[in-house]
Amino acid sequence: MSGVVIGREGVEELRPRMWKNIQDIRRLLKMRTEQPIKWEGEKRTEDRVR
């Protein structure tokens, strides 16, 4: 659970860098596809809302 929070904060911090380096976007997309941690985090948040 803590990993999911850190991941979200990291994405927000890397937003300004994305505009400068397009290659970073492709790398982040690859990491997201390889690591389905975000999907699990979203499902958990949905369960909490319900």
State the pLDDT at residue 37: 56
Its pTM surpasses 0.75? no
Chain segment 1-50, per-residue pLDDT in tens: 444 555 565 655 656 655 667 777 777 787 766 655 555 656 665 566 65
**Domain residues of the chain, as ranges?**
2-49
**Residue 46: DSSP 8-state:** H
Share of the chain above pLDDT 90, in %: 0
Per the CB < 8 A criterion, the answer to whether 28 and 11 are in contact is yes
- pLDDT value at position 38? 56
Residue that the structure tokens 């999911």 belong to: 4
